Structure 1
């Protein structure tokens, strides 16, 4: 029997302000097992980032329950097992006075604590992730001097340096050129072979469904959760109904473009 890494039960969330209440998530039930590579897809404003923030405890639950490895997420203590890359990484890096190496090594803070010296083993691991993301030439540069794509790869490396067993990525390929996007997905497939559980939020469904083994399609409600093969077989009318506008799913593996 597969081990459940994330289990979400009846999750609902509403954004509240003085003038109106805006439902973002409605009765979401989702289970992600160990070693799964799950693509979370859906249109802008569909609740994908909200759901990620609830899972990671960045936002407080309003209704429902979330379990991580069987523990209620409020009691979950092993957060160092989870690597996270936010879609806000690029904006965070602007004007930040640190080198690429320092930013990546900061990913070990939860494990080592603040103000601890980095060991020879830590620095060897730094070299490994620099090579994995093909950014060895950037290690001494200031993070604020990098392009958007370079910065995003640095924050992916930061998420990987702690050897996480779970990887959560929110639009990680924004600003990365096509060649490095391909290399990025190759890295994810290597990690999947090492039984890393991956939850990836993306708009680029034409690419991700050729790599993820499962797809969860969110637009307020969870409209679909199944294998990538089942998702590819959804009809154009059904996809367009989920997204709220005409959509055609096209696989990049067949040298065609995805219309979104």
Structure 2
């Protein structure tokens, strides 16, 4: 069996202050194989933000390790192996004086350093991700002139410019209308067809469970990790126990909603 692209082993994290210790994550284990599209879901306050910070290196695990392609990423510079799109991307773009190409190419800064000239292969990679995200026609547009859905594609392209091992998306549909949410998931499915490995973090278990091939449900512990089909077949009592309040998945044609 091949190594998983991304693996979390026995991760725990507790926030400490003078008065109390607040556990955020307890003994989290998660494996993601190449080409998987995994939705990490859970209620607000479930530890998703803490886990994102650990994955990105903003926090150091108090217990456990994180591996990328079989290597402990804390022991080498693996930053460019993780492509990250923040939920704040759209708000950041408003009024920002840069073209789409400039924003995407800024994703190479960590790899190349500041003030380094881009080479022919960098320009070729730019054209490649523009085609992949169907935004070639936006190449010279100012980022602040785009719609929310277009802006999200630009920041995905920026995250992919380094050809990372895994693409991590944090609440990516915040602030995007329903039409563009549908288009966004179509983009992710296209990326999955190209064997891009995706971890999408969200508190909303609505449409996402119909598109991801695996679902992991976090609420301090990792309560569930399996196929989207297995997740949809969880009973109301099981879901409510995981989330800590009454919850069910309600089907409406091809879409599903999270209803408390």
* TM score, norm. by length of structure 2: 0.87
Match runs of 1:168-187 below 5 Å: 168-187=168-187
Deviations 1:190-228 (A, max 9, x none): 222222211110233221111111111000111111111
| Structure 1 residues 137-177: Cα deviation after superposition (integer angstroms, max 9, x where no partner) | 55444445555544333222211223323111111111122
Per the alignment, do residues 20 and 151 of structure 1 end up closer, same or farther by CA in structure 2, a change over 3 Å counting?
A: farther
Number of residue pairs matched by the alignment: 260
Q: How much does 1:135 deviate? A: 4.4
Kept in 1: contact 2:149–2:181 (CA 8 A) = no
* SS class of match (2:65): strand
Distance 1:82 1:255, change over 3 A: closer
Contact persistence 2:10–2:65 (CA under 8 A): yes
| Separation in 2, partners of 1:63, 1:181 | 36
Q: Which residue in the other structure is 2:196 paired with? A: 196
Structure 1 residue aligned with 2:87: 87
Corresponding residue SS for 1:117: coil
The residue aligned with 1:111 is 111
Gaps of 5+ in 1: none
Alignment of structure 1 residues 143-182 onto 2, 5 Å: 143-144=143-144, 146=146, 148-182=148-182
Any unmatched runs of 5+ in structure 2?
none
Q: Indicate if the aligned counterparts of 1:4 and 1:69 stay in contact, CA closer than 8 A.
A: yes
Q: 2: distance between equivalents of 1:161 and 1:120?
A: 14
Rounded Cα–Cα distance in structure 2 between residues aligned with 1:256 and 1:67:
33
Question: How far apart are 1:253 and its partner, in Å?
Answer: 5.7
Provide the rounded CA distance (Å) in 1 between the counterparts of 2:177 and 2:129: 19
Contact residue 207 and residue 255 of structure 2 kept, 8 A: no
User: Which residue pairs with 1:241 in the alignment?
Assistant: 241
| Cα distance in 2 between the residues matched to 1:212 and 1:33 | 13
Residue in 2 aligned with 1:227? 227
Q: Provide the C-alpha distance between the structure 2 equivalents of 1:251 and 1:131, rounded to a whole number of angstroms.
A: 34
Alpha-carbon contact 2:35-2:197 (below 8 Å) kept: yes
What's the TM-score, normalizing by structure 1?
Answer: 0.87
Structure 1 vs Structure 2 CA RMSD: 2.4
Q: Which moved more, 1:121-130 or 1:159-168?
A: 121-130
Residue 11 of structure 1 aligns with which residue? 11
Alignment match, 1:254:
254
In the other structure, the counterpart of 2:217 is: 217
CA drift at 1:91:
4.3
Asked whether 1:67 is paired with 2:67, we answer yes
Indicate yes or no: 2:39 matched with 1:39: yes
Comparing 114-123 with 28-37, greater Cα deviation is found at 114-123
